[in-house]
């Protein structure tokens, strides 16, 4: 099987984000792989081990993205495609998906995997639009993948603890949910090998980047409640909290 895994580099989870210049201050952020994409990569590597073939990672973004691509190669991806442009905000999800579709089409993939949404913008758009552009059937929020006789049976996550079995022919695209399998670590050997693996660079021409709406204001979320914060040592804070639990919430 030829398996393409689309990964995105996003601000690290611990990032302190603050609004600036009509968007988010990006100067002092560190970056990491988008968490659901790490699970998509894991599933892509697992399926390759099971069925043979090749796992190719695809990532769009500025030069810093190469770090995340190398990490994926170190974990076992065979090669990579880097859609490069210095301004990641220059593209709408539709434009990004179009570039990805162009880059993938020649690879004739059996399966395309993405994370279900990104931890930064969280649109969840790019994967499903990519499926549509490639003319592939898709399923979202996938927690289990079985390949049988050229077809797929997947377990989709719904809500309230419900799941759903969905079947479709290959080739197909799946958006993967976090937790589909235990993530592997890169081995020393893997890290060494990654240095010589191919990364095909595809420079992108910026599109209009127009998602059809104007961002008027970016802010930190408003507090929905008048949250009272307790200060002091853990002991002091715990003592104040217990007072509230006893006399206000009456749970003690």
Partner 1 sequence: MNGNIWVVAEQWKGQISEITYEVMALGRELADGLGARLEAVLLGHNARSLAAGLGKADLVLYADHESLAEPNIEALMSALVQLMRERKPRAVLVPLTNVSMGLSTLVAAELELPVVNFCKDAKVVDGAVQATCVLYGGKIEATVATAGDSAILAVWPGARQADQGRSGASPAVEEVALELPAGLCIKLKRYLEPEMGEVDITQQQVLVAVGRGIQSKDNLEMAEELAEALGGAVCGSRPVIDQGWLPLSRQVGKSGMQVKPRLYLALGISGAPEHLEGMRGSDLIVAVNTDPAAPIFNEAHYGVVADALDLMPALAEKVKAAKG
Q: 181-186 long-range CB contacts below 8 Å, 24 or more apart?
A: 181/39, 181/42, 181/43, 181/46, 182/42, 183/38, 183/39, 183/42, 184/42, 184/45, 184/75, 184/76, 185/75, 186/71, 186/74, 186/75
Question: Binding marks (x or -) toward partner 1, 36..75, rule CB under 8 A?
Answer: ----------------------------------------
Q: Of 64 and 153, which has the nearer Cβ to partner 1?
A: 153
**Residues 19-38 interacting with partner 1 (rule: CB under 8 A):** 19, 24
Q: Which of 64, 165, 200, 201 binds partner 1 (CB under 8 A)?
A: 165
Q: Of 69 and 141, which has the nearer Cβ to partner 1?
A: 141
What residues does 79 pair with on adjacent strands?
Answer: 56
Question: Does the footprint of partner 1 cover residue 162 (CB under 8 A)?
Answer: yes
CA distance from start to end of the chain: 59
Q: Which of 141, 176, 194, 204 binds partner 1 (CB under 8 A)?
A: 141
Give how many residues touch partner 1 by CB under 8 A. Answer: 79
**Residues 89-118 interacting with partner 1 (rule: CB under 8 A):** 93-94, 97, 116
**CB–CB of 64/208 below 8 Å?**
no
Q: Which of 21, 150, 161, 203 binds partner 1 (CB under 8 A)?
A: 161
Query: What angle, rounded to 10 degrees, do the helices at 35-51 and 65-75 form?
Result: 30
Of 120, 168, 148, residue with least CA distance to 156: 168
Tracing tokens 């802010």 back to the chain, one arrives at: 219
Query: What angle, rounded to 10 degrees, do the helices at 126-134 and 93-105 form?
Result: 40
Question: Does the footprint of partner 1 cover residue 17 (CB under 8 A)?
Answer: yes
Which among 42-50, 104-112, 194-202, 224-232 is the span making contact with partner 1, rule CB under 8 A?
224-232
Q: Of 105 and 122, which has the nearer Cβ to partner 1?
A: 122
The distance of closest approach from Cβ of residue 172 to partner 1 in the complex, given in angstroms and rounded to an integer, is 9
Q: Which of 158, 188, 195, 203 binds partner 1 (CB under 8 A)?
A: 158
Q: Of 184 and 197, which has the nearer Cβ to partner 1?
A: 184
Q: Is 26 exposed, middle or buried (0-12, 13-18, 19+ CB in 10 A)?
A: middle
The distance of closest approach from Cβ of residue 109 to partner 1 in the complex, given in angstroms and rounded to an integer, is 17
The distance of closest approach from Cβ of residue 227 to partner 1 in the complex, given in angstroms and rounded to an integer, is 5
The distance of closest approach from Cβ of residue 231 to partner 1 in the complex, given in angstroms and rounded to an integer, is 8
Question: What H or E segment, with its residue span, contains residue 51?
Answer: helix 35-51
Encoded tokens for 177: 């949910």
The CA distances from residue 54 to 50, 86, 109, 127, 247, in Å, are 11, 29, 10, 20, 62
Question: Does the footprint of partner 1 cover residue 220 (CB under 8 A)?
Answer: yes
**Residues 198-217 interacting with partner 1 (rule: CB under 8 A):** 211-217
């Amino acid at each position: 099987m030829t398996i393409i895994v689309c990964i995105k580099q996003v601000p690290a989870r611990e990032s302190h984000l603050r609004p600036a210049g009509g968007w988010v201050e990006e100067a002092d952020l560190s970056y990491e792989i988008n968490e659901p994409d790490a699970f998509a990569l894991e599933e892509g590597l697992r399926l390759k081990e099971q069925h043979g073939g090749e796992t190719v990672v695809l990532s769009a973004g500025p030069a810093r993205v190469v770090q995340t691509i190398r990490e994926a190669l170190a974990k076992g991806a065979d090669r990579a495609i880097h859609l490069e442009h210095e301004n990641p905000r220059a593209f709408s999800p539709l434009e990004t998906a179009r570039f990805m579709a162009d880059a993938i089409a020649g690879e004739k993939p059996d399966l395309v995997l993405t994370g279900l949404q990104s931890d930064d913008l969280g649109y969840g758009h790019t994967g499903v639009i990519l499926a549509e552009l490639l003319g592939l059937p898709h399923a979202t929020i996938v927690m289990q993948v079985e390949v049988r006789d050229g077809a797929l049976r997947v377990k989709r996550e719904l809500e309230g603890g419900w799941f759903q079995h969905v079947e479709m022919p290959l080739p197909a695209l799946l958006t993967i949910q976090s937790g589909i399998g235990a993530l592997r670590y890169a081995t020393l050997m893997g890290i060494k090998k990654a240095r010589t693996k191919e990364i095909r660079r595809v420079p992108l021409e910026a599109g209009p980047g127009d998602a059809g709406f104007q961002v008027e204001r970016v802010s930190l979320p408003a507090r929905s409640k008048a949250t009272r914060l307790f200060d002091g040592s853990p002991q002091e804070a715990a003592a104040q909290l217990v007072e509230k639990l006893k006399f206000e919430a009456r749970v003690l």
